[in-house]
Amino acid sequence: MFGLLLKHKTTQLGFLHQNAYFVAKSFTSINLSDSTQQLIIKQKHSFTVSYLINSCGLSPKSALLTSQKVHFEKPDKPDSVLNLLRENGFSNTQISQLVRSIPQVLTTKPEKTLLPKIEFFRSKGVSSSDLTRVLCANASLLGNSLEKHIIPCYDFLKSVLLVDEKVLTTLKRSPRYNVTNNMVPNIELLRRLGSPQSVISFYVTNLPRTAFVEHTRFVNAVQEVKEMGFDPLKTVFVLAINVVLSMSKPMLDSKLELYKRWGWYENVALLAFKRQPNCMLISEDKITKAMDFLVNKSGWPSADIARSPSVLFLSLEKRIIPRCSVIQLLQAKGLLKNDLSLSTFILPSERRFLEKFVIKFQDKVPQLWNVYSCKTYHLEVGHQSEKTQVSRHSSSCKFFF
């Protein structure tokens, strides 16, 4: 078919120019190959495609796809848009990113639609570097009305967050807002439940994608979290809302089943979820590896992990294994109690851990630093011994205990 198309390209392309609307509408009903469709599009939008490649830095494939969303036959308007963006600190890479995200920006009147938005953000004290980052992360702002969307959105966020810097952070983290239908009622619901300013500010700044979801979904998530016993006065309340809105019910059920297999039955899993809701967002592979090491290889009770679920977020190789090796050596020497909880040595900062468990005992256990810093160690659990190797540093030291 492609050979036939080339053979009659003059006739066919003439037909396409005269019947472009019919051809475009018929893509879904006529069985044309991808290469044929791309040839048709490229012929129809040849100037646009060329401009997107040469002036906006898009790849040929990206330019072809983008040309289906925007069309122009003269460079005057897009040139004026690019000039305005460059004058306001946008790099070529950022311009390419903007054009891919919102190609219609090339056909706007820059002095009338783009410049007022840029000047609005500058009036809020936004630096050139921050301005370009905000607009690249949230390109839809350039396509929204300044008076009807951007100003009301900004003013409401400022009333919630109080500080311009937090407003900008929020704008960078969420691409779209529905002020009337979602943003206002969602925040008002949290306020009615008694959530303090600090909790609401944390939620809006750090998790705006779920803070401003469709209001009905938000109400249902809040109700579900309340029924679990979460306190609206605490930050974990909004963290739990975020988890419920981020995961489908099958995904959440699957994660709960995984924890059950490691001994977290319903009451234990709920305890862990209430202490650290984000433990449900950890990948199953990461959970399995951490639990296997802590429960099977190191002998820590599963319930102890449920009381400190934040342990599961930490790196197995860089943090959990090295610290466990130090603690078990100290316990083997009778220098620490055997009922030490995970949180007392896994969660503290590096400096605090070294001071409390390495430097303090280094005179009594000279090899302690090697146990912590080297790559080969031998863990002894109960009456069984298992050798585990972890690559942390290039050092080739070996020790056994």
**Cβ atoms of residues 386 and 297 within 8 Å:** yes
Model pLDDT, residue 9: 40
DSSP string, 242-292: HHHHHS-HHHHHHHHHHHHHTT--HHHHHHHHHH-GGGGGS-HHHHHHHHI
Residue 374 CA: distances (Å) to CA of 68, 316, 370, 397: 57, 15, 5, 6
Element (H, E) at 380: strand 376-381
Residue 8 gets which letter from DSSP? Answer: T
What does the pLDDT read at residue 85?
93
User: 380 has which bridge partners?
Assistant: 385
- Rounded CA gap, 257 and 251, in Å? 10
What pLDDT does residue 38 have? 53
Tokens of 153: 């959105």
Q: How confident is the prediction along the chain (401 residues), in pLDDT tens digits per residue? A: 434 333 444 444 343 344 433 334 333 444 445 555 555 445 556 888 999 999 999 999 998 898 889 888 888 999 999 999 999 999 999 999 999 989 999 999 999 989 999 999 999 888 888 888 888 888 888 888 899 888 988 898 899 998 888 888 888 787 666 666 788 899 999 999 999 999 999 999 999 889 989 999 999 999 999 999 999 999 999 999 999 999 998 998 899 899 999 989 888 988 899 999 999 999 999 999 999 999 999 888 898 899 999 999 999 999 999 999 999 999 999 999 888 888 999 999 999 999 999 999 989 998 888 888 864 444 443 333 333 333 333 333 333 33
d(CA 373, CA 319): 11
Contact 135, 175 (CB under 8 A): no
Q: C-alpha distances in angstroms, 195 versus 16, 149, 230?
A: 61, 26, 12
Identify whether the C-beta of residue 135 lies closer than 8 Å to the C-beta of residue 145: no
Predicted pLDDT at 39: 52
Collapsing DSSP to helix, strand or coil, 376 comes out as strand
> Among residues 321, 313, 233, which one has the least CA distance to residue 277?
313
Supply the angle between the helices 266-275 and 235-246 in degrees, to the nearest 10: 120
Q: What is the pLDDT of residue 377?
A: 43
Amino acid at position 143, single letter: G
φ, ψ for residue 379 (rounded to 5)? -95, 135
Query: Cα–Cα distance between 209 and 203 in angstroms, integer?
Result: 10
pLDDT value at residue 174? 73
The pLDDT of residue 3:
44
**Amino acid residing at 391:** S
Check residue 180 and give its pLDDT. 63
What are the residue ranges of helices labelled H in 26-148?
34-44, 46-54, 60-66, 76-87, 92-101, 115-123, 128-137
pTM above threshold 0.75: no
pLDDT at residue 26 in the model: 38
